[in-house]
Structure 1
Amino acid sequence: MTTSPPSPRLHAPPLYERIKGTLREAILSGRAAPDTLLPSEAALCEQFGASRITVRQALADLQNEGLIFRRHGKGTFVSAPKAFQNVTALQGFAEAMSAQGHSIHNRVLRLETVPAPMDVAQALQLAPGTPVTELHRARLLDRAAVSLEVTWLPEALGRVVARADLATRDVFLVLEQDAGVPLGHATLAIDAALADHATAAALDVGAGAPILRVERLTHDAHGKPIDFERLYFRGDTFQYRLRLDRHVAASAQSIFPLQGTV
Structure 2
Amino acid sequence: MRAGRDPGLKRVDETSEEGAAIATLPLYTQIREVVRRRILDGSYAPHSQMPSEAQMMEAFGVSRITIRQALGDLQKEGLIFKVPGKGSFVSKPKAFQNLSRLQGFGEAMTPAGYETYSQVLSARAVPAEAAVAQRLQVAPGEKVFEIQRLRHLNREPISVDVSYFPLLLGQRLAQEDLPARDIFVILENDYGLHLTHADVSIDAISATEPLARLLRTPEDAPLLRIERLTFADDQPLDFEYLYYRGDAFQYRLRVERS
Tell me the TM-score range normalised by the shorter chain.
0.5 to 0.7
8 A Cα contact 1:157 1:175, kept in partner: no
Q: CA RMSD in A?
A: 2.7
Are positions 1:240 and 2:251 aligned together? yes
Distance 1:118 1:134 in 2: 14
Corresponding residue number in structure 2 for 1:137: 149
The answer to whether 1:225 aligns with 2:199 is: no
* 1:200-252, Cα deviation, whole Å (9 max, x unpaired): 1111111111111101000112x1111000001111121111112234xxxxx
**Which residue number in structure 1 is paired with residue 171 of structure 2?**
159
Change (3 A) 1:69 1:140: farther
Question: What pairs up with 1:170-189 in 2 under 5 angstroms?
Answer: 170-189=182-201
Q: Sequence identity of aligned pairs in percent? A: 47
Taking the aligned partners of 1:135 and 1:36, their CA distance within structure 2 comes to 34
Which contiguous aligned blocks of 4+ residues in structure 1 show a shift greater than 4 angstroms? 67-70
SS of residue matched to 1:244? coil
CA distance in 1, matches of 2:140, 2:93: 43
Contact 1:194 1:207 in 2 (8 A): yes
Tell me which amino acid in the other structure corresponds to 1:100: A
Work out the CA distance in 1 between the residues paired with 2:165 and 2:214. 21
Please state if 1:117 is matched with 2:117: no
Question: Structure 1, unaligned stretches of length 5 or more?
Answer: 1-29, 38-64, 71-75, 248-262
CA shift digits 1:106-157 (9 cap, x unpaired): 0111110011101000011111111111011000001110111000000121
Paired letter, 2:245: R
Corresponding pairs, count: 184
Specify the alignment match of 1:196 in structure 2. Answer: 208
Residues in 1 aligned to 2:119 and 2:159: alpha-carbon distance in whole angstroms: 11
Q: 2:219 aligns with which of 207, 219, 228?
A: 207
Contact 1:190/1:215, CA 8 A, preserved across alignment: yes
**Partner Cα distance (1:184, 1:237) in 2:** 28
Amino acid at match of 2:253: L
Query: Could you tell me the TM-score, scaled by structure 1's length?
Result: 0.64
CA distance in 2 between counterparts of 1:135 and 1:218 reads 15
- 1:4 is matched with none
Report what 1:83 is aligned to: 95
Q: Give TM-score scaled by structure 2 length.
A: 0.65
> Among 92, 113, 129, which residue is 2:104 paired with?
92
5+ unaligned residues in a row in structure 2: which ranges?
Answer: 1-34, 36-43, 50-77
- The structure number with the bigger radius of gyration is 1
Further displaced range: 227-236 or 78-87? 78-87
What aligned pairs does 1:6-85 form with structure 2 within 5 A after superposition?
A: 35=47, 79-80=91-92, 82-85=94-97
Measure, in 2, the Cα distance between the counterparts of 1:161 and 1:226: 12
Where 1:151 maps in the other structure, the secondary structure is strand
Q: 1:81 to 1:177 in 2, by over 3 A?
A: closer
Asked if 1 retains the 8 angstrom alpha-carbon contact of 2:106 and 2:181, the reply is yes
Instruction: Report the residue type matching 1:174 in the other structure.
Output: I
Distance 2:240 2:188 in 1: 17
Task: State the alpha-carbon separation in 1 of the partners of residues 236 and 124 from structure 2.
Answer: 20
